[in-house]
Structure 1
Amino acid sequence: MRKWHLKLYLFLLLLVTAISCGGGGSGGGTGEASIRIVIQFPQAESTEATSELMSTRQSVEDIRIITITIEDGFPTIERTFDVTDLPLEERIFVPVGSDRIVTVRARDINGLLIAVGSTTIDVFPGGSNTATIQLELVGEVCDDGIDNNEDGDTDCADPDCDGERCDPEDDSFVCEDGQCVIPTPTPTPTPPAIESLCFDNMDNDEDDLVDCADPDCEGRICRVSGVSGVCDNGACRIIDLVPSINDICGVDFTVTNQGNTTAPASVTQVVFFIEDDSGNPGTASANLNTPSLSPGQSASFSVDPGTVIPSGSFCFVPNCVYTIEVDANNQIPESDEGNNTIIGLCPG
């Protein structure tokens, strides 16, 4: 809908002279009557108007042309005035009678209807009457088949109706490109393609970047010569921590990084399977801090079972079984998680 912003509240004062016109209309009479017509504009800021204001030709924003129509019971009388050159007094000869319908239409300089108002007045001889007409803003109603603002375009054909509801029985229809239609749904955006596999040597998302060279693969699993790794800064980095026992009953062992990139610090856990005095099974464990290891680098450890197994429990019944697990907290993505644990057996 077109929205009008009228900044000034202005009374247009018109003096209408009524004369006897034998039998015209209802409530006919004889003599003359002076009729004062007051037109009030919408969105008022001031409540008074003076002849001085009128003489300076100040006008309401947008409203330029005023048409006054008086009808009912006699030939319709119509007068049109320019707001910027409106006389303070205009004599319109109106037959005496009651229920005269006074209609006011306000238009812009292009003739587009902006506001309308109407009232009924009685015109009697020998008296003075005032008819006050409050103008109301109008816009194009988009579903009534009427050119409401009288610009030559009706309903959806009026640009003012673009996007407005146009079917009084179905709210799903709106005006679109001059037609009353169900709007075309906004298509759901297609998510951007990503590199779906980072080890197939293919450019899955067709961005000319393959596997780890594609930023989409950062931190994802990759493979080199059948060995799994993790994409890191455009390359497939392989970490593979492997324990190996040096002395069966020591317990001495080594942790080696068999990957092609540095492994961060981790935890290696040694677990002894034990029994107490009553023969109840249990475990005793030691956690060893393993330093960061470069590719091929190893770290050696030695664990004394006597410092790990609590008093009153035994490991040599009849054999001492223990496990060594590297990256016990599972914090490091490795190419082969299946070789992280080794089992040791020390005969009793």
Structure 2
Amino acid sequence: MRYFESDESFMPYIEQGSNRIYLHEANEDIYTIYHPSDAGNLIESSLMNKIISLASLKHITLQRYMSYLDSFSVPPLIIKSEATSTQETSNLILQSALNLRSNGVGLFAKDDILEVLNGNVDKGTFLDFVRYCDECISKVITSQVLAGNNVQNGTQALGNVHEGITKNVLEFDAGLLAENITPLLAKMLEYNFSHVAPFYFEIDTNTEKDEKLQAEVYNLLSNMGIKVPLKHLENTFKIEGLEYRDNIDLDINSPLSFKNMQKNREIKDGNINTLDSIDKLEHTLSPKDTFNLNALLKDCKTYDEAFLKLESMLKGSDLELAKDELSNYIANAMIYGKGSVHNDL
């Protein structure tokens, strides 16, 4: 894919080697497609207009600052003379001072008092503004928003980031052109063939895609119940003739299935979180017969007494093995309590 250029007469052409192919001279071989844009007037909203505006602003700033330096870098001459009694003598003294190539001269009486006013001009502010103009021009040309602005060292764009931005711009332009070329190709085929089969046109930009990652994403979407169009899959994997299987459950044992991936993750988590001594003891010991909690807590009148009695009777592994029984008692008590409240209401 190539971009149009224009000569001094603003005639668009394509440069191929040392030859120029002008559009108005090759209308039979080149189709010109104009994509509608809402960016405004081409002259007022173009990148070249922004570059010229920023460069002009920088030039005016430099010119004004150089004029300031030219006016105030050379100190003025102040003449104190007693030979100013006549106009002719004063003119001769001023002319002599101008011949000394000073930017400003003045003739005053001997006893006059002069005060010099110093302008509050910061050189750093001027340099920062010039650097700002350079950065804006660089951003317009290279889309250097993320590529760094280290213009002090002469680096206008970091290599990898700038290359990625350029590639993204190329892919965007290719997709935009392909979308507008497709109707033109369809019209051309209708003129030459009675029946035109559906087709998809794409400009290859040598973009590498992670097909494994896309396959995993597709598999997750399928397990969520989302049906991905076959046309999208054919364009993504460059495979024609894809079909849906009647029974997707046949692939339930596939290593890419959502359930198996979740199971593998649980296995990995289990390998990381090893069993401690109490968990191992729980798997090796057999549970004892269920105990009667009512008989155990018969003589207890408060919660603290029941807690101390359970703590003294159930130690170590016995407490671990009895936790399920205690959980059942607590759950049944909650259900019974809620039922009693509803009955009272």
> TM bucket by the smaller chain?
under 0.3
Question: Based on CA coordinates, which of the two structures has the bigger radius of gyration?
Answer: 1
Which structure carries more relative contact order (alpha carbon 8 Å, separation 6+)?
1
TM-score (norm 1): 0.21
Q: Write 1 or 2 for the structure with the bigger share of helix.
A: 2
